[in-house]
Amino acid sequence: MSDADIDAESADDDAVLETRLQLVEEENRRLREEYARSKRVSYRRSAAAFGALGVLAGLLGVAFADARTVLFALAGTGVFAGVLTYYLTPEHVVPVTVGERAFSALAENEADIARELGLTDHRYYVPVEHPDAGARLFVPQHATARRPDDDALATVFVATDDDRERGVSLHASGDRLFEEYERARTTSADGDPERLGESLVDALANQFELVESGDVEQVGDGRLAVALSGVEFGPGETFDHPVASFLAVGVARDCGEAVALRVTDGGERADERVVLDWPAFEADEATGGRRE
């Protein structure tokens, strides 16, 4: 076979590969558009159903005077829900993989910074009184760390006179999620860690759809353990993972205590297990920074 034949065959192979790549890209684009369209259709059908129920309730209210007040109230609720659902229909659907890849790059950068600074692998979620945050992630320099005050935690690099208060303080990825959770929840945990844990897990599964399922496994004196399955955005042990961060921030802000976070293997029952201990700094100081 001559060099010209080899070059021609190579060119043909490149052309075939390029054609296949274009076909794959076109198919991916078509699938994304179809998925987005199906979501819009689903929302709009729900809006139409709400509207129809509202109109039906209104007609029945005209016909039945005895139940008019209730039926008119249902009519107004149905029409309002239909209009709201229609106008809140998402025009664009972002695949989970896009968010996961964007988050993983940020998490890797933060983990690299902590490693380059020689910080420990301890993660503390500390409630603070700041206008832009309800809790901060503190990564200490020493295993037997002490809690810095709120002013020190307002800066990224915490460098106080006490060596055990030094480290980095970051915005917790779960802090803004917790704010959304607080806007949506209708009942308080009233200081009950088990009720709080169940409420947080329910929000992760049903409100934010960041996990498939979760169970509160252990509730003890200053400890909450949650088993999770189907966690989005990569492994839960990733630096400041939004799922683990949300749980830690939730406990920290609700209980008003600094929380130490660990993520372990979930065993046979779950994919991962998030363990939260508080008050964090006092417990670690008593054990010399060791975690059980």
The Cα–Cα gap between 261 and 101 comes to 23
* pLDDT bracket for residue 11 (50, 70, 90): low
* Both tokens assigned to 176: 């803004």
Query: Model pTM?
Result: 0.68
* Distance, C-alpha 94 to centroid of its chain: 15
Q: What does the pLDDT read at residue 69? A: 79
Work out the pLDDT band at 89, boundaries 50, 70, 90: low
- The model's pLDDT over 162-198, given as tens digits with 9 standing for 90+, comes to 999 999 999 999 999 999 999 888 778 777 888 999 9
Q: Which residue has the higher pLDDT, 61 or 142?
A: 142
Q: Tell me the pLDDT tens digit for each residue of 195-228.
A: 999 999 999 999 888 999 999 987 788 899 999 9
User: Does 115 have pLDDT greater than 80?
Assistant: yes
Nearest to 127 by CA among 223, 244, 257: 257
Report the pLDDT value the prediction gives residue 187, as an integer from 0 to 100: 78
Res. 80: pLDDT tops 90: no
CB 227 within 8 A of CB 218: no
61 and 71 Cβ atoms separated by less than 8 Å: yes
Q: Per-domain residue ranges for the chain?
A: 3-87, 97-292
The predicted pLDDT at position 290 comes to 53
So what's the pLDDT on residue 70? 76
Q: What is the mean pLDDT of residues 236-251?
A: 95
The pLDDT value given to residue 112: 93
What's the token pair of residue 214?
């979760």
Res 35 pLDDT > 70 = no
CB 138 within 8 A of CB 148: yes
- For the chain, what is the mean pLDDT? 82
